[in-house]
Amino acid sequence: MTRPKPSYASDSENPANAPSVSLAHRQLQRILSGPVFWIAVGAATVVMAMAGPYFTLARFSFPERLVYWGTTVTLSALIMTAISVYAYWTSKLSKMNWSVVSVLAGTAGILPVVVTLYLAEGLATGFAPGWLSFIDFPTLVRSVAPTIIFVTLAVHGLIHYLDRDVTPTDTGVIATRSDTPPALTVLQSKLPPHLGHDIISVQAQDHYVEVCTPKGSAMVLMRLKDAVHDLAPLDGMQVHRSWWVNTAHVTRREKGQSGPELLLSSGARVPVGRIFRAAAKQAGLG
């Protein structure tokens, strides 16, 4: 069975060391690449077009309202989601108060949303004469500003409440409370987020190690010797000069052509080196 080609994980993918911009960018990519965001945008567009709030019911036909609210909801959602995600990671990895960051994020979104409303008006009316004067700029700003800031503050407050068990230390590293899972090892923290942290095996590959989890694999710049030392807190062991395995993922032991082999939950067959056989047998793997 051909295994998928592993990706390479750089140090910037370590949540403890990566800058807020990098972390926010990856989270934003995950949000926008998933269906939930776009389903919510589509549903909100249809609801607003049918309801016709803010005098759009009287001013526009249903197709025009679809254009107006489709433009408004889509662009506003993209703008405010991007600003909110970056603001969230800024407050999470710095000493800035989350409420202050939230208000600043909401304020930063006012002008782009106002421009979006003018664009939506122009598209809905076909840029007919007077499309820019449907409401004066200061009035529109005063109308949307409180709502944008309040919604941004409320969303960030909810995120902060749900994330209250994770707090940043003075060094910027995420620290967990005593009732949360143990801290990650260095190797685990270097894995891309989508792979999780449940390591099945680690195999030496020149100056890298290939780390396999139930969700895939990645190449990490680290010597196997250092990886074995780093993974000491986990229930695993080195069974070959090129392999470390998590004993919880060893499904059975079989006799191979060159000696005993371990079959892992990933489907990989790992040889047990001669000098490691006694320790493997003592650990119940032999």
184 occurs within a structural domain: no
Task: Note whether 63 and 109 are same-domain residues.
Answer: yes
Q: Which helix (H) or strand (E) holds 113?
A: helix 98-125
| Among candidate residues 140, 172, 204, the one where a domain is terminated | 172
CB atoms within 10 A of CB 99: 13
Cα-based distances in Å from 209 to 34, 204, 206, 243, 262: 30, 4, 8, 9, 19
Q: Give the tens place of pLDDT for each residue, 167-177.
A: 433 334 444 44
When pLDDT is cut at 50, 70 and 90, the band that residue 8 belongs to is low
Q: How many domains does the chain have?
A: 2
pLDDT of residue 118: 93
Please, which residues have CB within 8 angstroms of residue 7's CB and are 6 or more apart in sequence? 192, 216, 217, 218, 219
132 occurs within a structural domain: yes
pTM higher than the cut 0.75: no
Task: Note whether 138 and 271 are same-domain residues.
Answer: no
| Residue 188, token pair as written in the block | 């685990």
Task: Note whether 236 and 139 are same-domain residues.
Answer: no
32 occurs within a structural domain: yes
Which of 57-61, 180-184, 213-217, 243-247 has the weakest average pLDDT? 180-184
256 occurs within a structural domain: yes
Average pLDDT, the chain: 83
179 occurs within a structural domain: no
Task: Note whether 47 and 165 are same-domain residues.
Answer: yes
Task: Note whether 84 and 152 are same-domain residues.
Answer: yes
Q: Give the tens place of pLDDT for each residue, 104-157.
A: 999 999 999 999 999 999 999 999 988 888 888 999 999 999 989 998 888 777
41 occurs within a structural domain: yes
Q: Give the tens place of pLDDT for each residue, 29-58.
A: 878 888 888 999 999 999 999 999 988 999
Structure-derived torsion over alpha carbons of residues 30, 74, 118, 81, reported in degrees to the nearest 10: -30
Task: Note whether 91 and 200 are same-domain residues.
Answer: no
Task: Note whether 216 and 254 are same-domain residues.
Answer: yes
Domain that holds residue 268: 195-282
123 occurs within a structural domain: yes
Task: Note whether 234 and 277 are same-domain residues.
Answer: yes
Q: Give the tens place of pLDDT for each residue, 254-285.
A: 888 888 999 999 999 999 999 999 888 888 87
